[in-house]
Chain A
Amino acid sequence: MITVEGLTHYYGDRRAVEGLTFSIQENEIIGVLGLNGAGKSTTLKVLAGLLIPTAGTIKIDGVDLASASAEFRSRIGYLPEDPPLYKEMTVTEFLMYVGQLKGRSARDVAARLPEVLRTCQIEHVANRVIGELSHGYKKRVGIAQAIIHQPRVVILDEPISGLDPKQIVEMRQVVRSLGKSCTVLISSHILTEVSETCDRVLMLAGGRIVAEGLESDLAEAATAKAGVRVTMVLRGDRATVEGALRSVSAVTSSEFAEDTHGFLKVRISLSQDARESLVAALVTAGVGVRRMVEEEAELENIFLGLTKGATA
């Protein structure tokens, strides 16, 4: 549905993104992750039609940004980090205006309005002046303006920043419900948020894509790059265990965390997946292995592992 090929953008002499190539299917919710300066905002701005890329092509349903920019933009709904709102207008007036601005007739927008208000959970503030709303409601009105014209793609830049926990939960519901009717791209630096709401993740570092895929796929990739961490519960004395660990070349570090009921609890980092060798070495040394648990690679760890060494 969205195909991006060789997307490159420079601000003057400074490269923001280079050679980005990816595609997104219909109704997918994609998380765009990256540190500051990774190129997230530039990528989203180009996808929203705000910037013309220095090189590369971007198509939505075959419509090219370069050759049909107006038609391309009509298929996009965009919410920047600070919602663009006319504070003197009421929510209804504002959404009616934006819907028409995006090319819909007043009748179409009026017909769609109740559904959008319901999706964004803002029916009860529909006639309130935007300037009087709380930050959370302003964010929701921001999402409403992004979807009022029934776009094919909705781009949300940091949609939960500044929201309280209750609002975050409600916002997740809103984002998930958006995914039923259109493709959603979310940029966020709160990795758990991306993990909660997105089907797939796109990681950027230094203006390039360093990883792309499901969270589980990325965990495997991170493991291949950053190694494995396990926690073991062992029976034996500490010196014997340390000796056994030294005999396994893949062990990079060990941390004796707890010693209860005569067992040793050891946290071990391996440069590669050498769990069998580790167990064999311990058993050979006469150490009893009661338990071994692999630490699940959380998105934060995956992200740090994959972006390690990437430069802007």
Chain B
Amino acid sequence: MRGILLVARRDFAAYVNTYWGWVIITVALLLDGVLFQAVGVTNTPQYSADVLKQFFYTHGGVSLAVGVVTTMRLFAEERQTGTMVLLESSPLSDRQLVMGKYLSAMMLMALFQALTLYMPGMILVNGKIGYDQIAVGYFGVMLMSSAGIAVGTWTSSISRNQILAAVLGAIVVMFFVMCFRIAKVTDPPFNSLFTQVAFYMKQFAPFEEGRINTENVVYFGSVTFGFLLLATQALTSRRWE
């Protein structure tokens, strides 16, 4: 655990001590605010619960994008700059390296989430929603982001440069996001399969409404676990080159 935290702390510091992490957060906050203004704050009267649901809908997408952009540097940048040798020659296991990197991206994600609290806070002040609805929504966003970050960690672990890692990560995440669309144009039983794996409509929607279903938690947890396992295997296989 000590090794995991050590790697996570350094990587998180690298995000917040350089302009990179702040550029990501600033752009994401701007995008999040504009979308909230466009979708949530309209002239048409809406229930505050619906406004909150709209917020989490758009905010979930922005968070996934932040995850992909954040993770592209995790391993690919280390390879580009030659510092991967430091990690690979250390006594830490590949699993610890992957977990440390993943955790650093999750810490940046948590920072980003904290900076968006003012938006549901405005709904809370001006409408009738509970703290629990906000908490559940953020819990869902963090779970979905965790899955996205795990995907990005894997693509970064198999890529030699950051751009390639980001493109691959975006493709895989987009696949999971767009699965509900694919489900609409495919026949049974594939349509139900695509519906099941869709990040948004099937798995994330309950959180937007303030509901926690065990199956959704297990799903995002499984995706996270699976892709982190793939990332670990990718690192291990490099030693057998």
Contact = CB atoms under 8 A, between A and B. Distances in A.
Contacts of A73: 89-91
A88 B18 contact: yes
A303 to B, nearest CB: 28
Contacts of B18: 88
25 contacts: A11-B241, A49-B89, A50-B85, A50-B88, A50-B89, A50-B239, A52-B239, A70-B92, A73-B90, A76-B89, A78-B85, A78-B89, A80-B82, A83-B82, A84-B82, A84-B85, A85-B83, A86-B14, A87-B81, A88-B14, A98-B86, A101-B6, A101-B87, A101-B90, A102-B91
Nearest to B240: A52
Nearest to B83: A84
Interface string A25-56: 00000000000000000000000111110000
Given A49-B88, A101-B3, 9 more contacts: A51-B239, A51-B241, A73-B90, A84-B81, A84-B84, A84-B85, A86-B10, A102-B90, A102-B91
A97 interface: yes
B179 to A, nearest CB: 37
A97 B87 CA distance: 11
Interface string A65-100: 000001101101010101111111000000001101
Q: Is the interface of B mostly helix, strand, loop or mixed?
A: helix
Contacts of A80: 82, 85
Contacts, number: 60
Contacts of A50: 85, 88-89, 239
A8 interface: no
Nearest to A78: B89
A103 B6 CA distance: 10
Contact of B92 (A88, A101, A145): A101
Task: Give the interface centre of A83, A84, A103 by most chain B CB atoms within 10 Å.
Answer: A84
A170 B7 CA distance: 33
Nearest to A106: B6
B48 interface: no
Q: Is the interface of A mostly helix, strand, loop or mixed?
A: loop
A58 B6 CA distance: 29
Nearest to A146: B89
Nearest to B92: A101
Given A51-B239, A51-B241, A73-B90, A100 B6 contact: yes
Contacts of A70: 91-93
A44 to B, nearest CB: 11
A70 B81 CA distance: 24
B214 interface: no
A78 to B, nearest CB: 5
Contacts of B83: 84-86
A101 B86 contact: yes
A74 B91 contact: yes
A84 B87 CA distance: 10
B108 to A, nearest CB: 16
Given A11-B241, A97-B6, A88 B17 contact: yes
Nearest to A88: B18
A96 to B, nearest CB: 10
Contacts of A78: 85, 89
Contacts of B17: 88
A245 to B, nearest CB: 55
Given A51-B241, A88-B14, A103 B91 contact: yes
Task: Give the interface centre of B14, B91, B92, B239 by most chain A CB atoms within 10 Å.
Answer: B91
A56 B232 CA distance: 25
Interface string A114-153: 0000000000000000000000000000000100000000
Contacts of B240: 51-52
Nearest to B236: A52
A102 B3 CA distance: 9
A52 B241 CA distance: 8
Interface string B1-35: 01100110010001001100000000000000000
A71 B82 contact: no
Contacts of A11: 241
Given A80-B85, A101-B86, A145-B86, A71 B91 contact: yes
A51 B241 CA distance: 7
